[in-house]
Chain A
């Protein structure tokens, strides 16, 4: 009986251990990312226009978050003159469960950029169509840039 009980406990412990290992395999998704460093690195990519950092009030003119209380930190910059669609966003949510809702707001922002530029400056559409949107743990990253491959490399470097 004691042996049987020990075996059950061992099995449960084994299962728990396996689950935690599996979670760890999902790309270190719960690891903290240095959002400021990632944002700064993305801003170092090549841009046609000057970029301007926005505060939360300004950000919410462009990103329609259903509930902004879920956001821990939002780092967003866009084309200062509005001449290009160039934009970078690194948004951290407080809980991982809110990632999808914020990601939806980011996708909506990219749709808005397409709406604004498709008939105005069609040349900007390439970078809008190739916009990089990635999530990692509690982080949502957007890069509307000339070189999306370079943006992806930067994101990979900081989210590992």
Chain B
């Protein structure tokens, strides 16, 4: 009986050795594969000119990790981040109102609304109700003491502008095809760049709408799916033009990606509380400047 047991023990000890060696081999193989994969990931991140939102997410965590860890090596890494390599601006440290000194807000009636609120009073608003991307370069809509002038001519009056925020869209996308919309937007940004070559340019996403209210008030149809499609195109355009893109829509939209009933009376324009949300978003998505 005891011999049988002994013999069985001997047999199981032989199999155990094989299992152990196999286990070590698999472990080693996994380690090697993991190393190769990690290196290829690093290389890929290094050559991507404009990070995707996921990559930006990692960049943001890199900044916050640095501040939390307080390690000199990590800190030097974070301070070396080139914010100009971003297009989609991630959430960053909240800035104070003086960030908007020498900032110009360009847009339609939603942007014009900034003048109504006692916020961003240190910035300049060049906006007109009803303007859209097809009329912004030509229509004389900005009132001055000398008469009405175009948005671009109005911008000429602020040669030391450091930041330009553009918000256009909902007025035009009902009837302007996407390709034409992007073409016109590109021309507009090129003209701004020519006038203010050193300014940071932020393109803001088109706000979502409340489809039912919009259809009722404007006798026209705009869907949030269409707005998302145009916003995707705006992000791509921003990457190509090397300007910043602010996904403001994410703070304006409800859980379904729409403008909620309490946010709007007409389906497109936002009320007081949503202006505050918008301004807060801008303060938390401001690219640091030297």
What is the size category of the interface that chain B forms with chain A? 20 to 34
For the complex, what is the distance from the CA of A6 to the CA of B264, rounded to whole Å?
A: 74
Q: Are B265 and A48 in contact (CB under 8 A)?
A: yes
A50-B265, A50-B271 known; A82+B118 contact, CB < 8 A: no
For the complex, what is the distance from the CA of A153 to the CA of B130, rounded to whole Å?
A: 33
For the complex, what is the distance from the CA of A66 to the CA of B48, rounded to whole Å?
A: 56
Q: Are B117 and A82 in contact (CB under 8 A)?
A: no
Closest to B113 in A: A82
Chain B residues lying within 8 Å of A36, measured Cβ to Cβ, are none
Verify if A78 is at the interface (C-beta below 8 Å from B): yes
Verify if A69 is at the interface (C-beta below 8 Å from B): no
Chain B residues lying within 8 Å of A55, measured Cβ to Cβ, are 118
Produce 1/0 per residue, B39-70, CB < 8 A to A.
00000000000000000000000000000000
Q: Are B266 and A83 in contact (CB under 8 A)?
A: yes
Q: Are B268 and A112 in contact (CB under 8 A)?
A: no
Chain A residues lying within 8 Å of B113, measured Cβ to Cβ, are 80-82
Q: Are A58 and B115 in contact (CB under 8 A)?
A: yes
Chain A residues lying within 8 Å of B268, measured Cβ to Cβ, are 83
For the complex, what is the distance from the CA of A28 to the CA of B31, rounded to whole Å?
A: 95
Q: Is the interface of B mostly helix, strand, loop or mixed?
A: loop
Closest to B112 in A: A82
Chain B residues lying within 8 Å of A117, measured Cβ to Cβ, are 129-130
Verify if B186 is at the interface (C-beta below 8 Å from A): no
Q: Are A81 and B118 in contact (CB under 8 A)?
A: no
Chain B residues lying within 8 Å of A52, measured Cβ to Cβ, are 116-117, 272
**Which residues of B from 10 to 44 have beta carbons under 8 Å from A?**
none
**Which residues of B from 197 to 212 have beta carbons under 8 Å from A?**
none
**What is the CB-to-nearest-CB distance from A110 to chain B, in angstroms, rounded to a whole number?**
14
**What is the CB-to-nearest-CB distance from B183 to chain A, in angstroms, rounded to a whole number?**
23
Chain B residues lying within 8 Å of A82, measured Cβ to Cβ, are 109-110, 112-113, 116, 129, 269
Chain B residues lying within 8 Å of A64, measured Cβ to Cβ, are 143, 145
Chain B residues lying within 8 Å of A116, measured Cβ to Cβ, are 109, 128-130
Chain B residues lying within 8 Å of A80, measured Cβ to Cβ, are 113, 116, 271-272
**Which residues of A from 29 to 83 have beta carbons under 8 Å from B?**
48-50, 52, 54-55, 57-58, 61-62, 64, 78, 80-83
Closest to B148 in A: A115
Q: Is the interface of A mostly helix, strand, loop or mixed?
A: loop
Q: Are B115 and A119 in contact (CB under 8 A)?
A: no
For the complex, what is the distance from the CA of A145 to the CA of B129, rounded to whole Å?
A: 19
**Which residues of B from 118 to 132 have beta carbons under 8 Å from A?**
118, 121, 125, 128-130
For the complex, what is the distance from the CA of A49 to the CA of B265, rounded to whole Å?
A: 6
For the complex, what is the distance from the CA of A49 to the CA of B269, rounded to whole Å?
A: 10
Chain A residues lying within 8 Å of B143, measured Cβ to Cβ, are 64, 112
Selected contact of B116 from candidates A48, A78, A120, CB within 8 Å:
A78
Chain B residues lying within 8 Å of A48, measured Cβ to Cβ, are 265-266
Verify if B270 is at the interface (C-beta below 8 Å from A): yes
Q: Are A61 and B115 in contact (CB under 8 A)?
A: yes
For the complex, what is the distance from the CA of A117 to the CA of B117, rounded to whole Å?
A: 21
For the complex, what is the distance from the CA of A116 to the CA of B143, rounded to whole Å?
A: 11
For the complex, what is the distance from the CA of A112 to the CA of B128, rounded to whole Å?
A: 10
In the A-B complex, the 10 residue pairs with the closest CB atoms? A120-B130, A81-B269, A116-B129, A83-B266, A83-B269, A61-B115, A82-B109, A82-B113, A49-B265, A80-B272
Chain A residues with a Cβ under 8 A of chain B: 48-50, 52, 54-55, 57-58, 61-62, 64, 78, 80-84, 112, 116-117, 119-121
* 20 contacting pairs across A/B (C-beta < 8 A): A50-B265, A50-B271, A50-B272, A54-B116, A55-B118, A57-B118, A57-B121, A58-B118, A61-B116, A64-B143, A78-B116, A81-B266, A82-B112, A83-B217, A83-B266, A84-B266, A116-B128, A116-B130, A119-B130, A121-B130
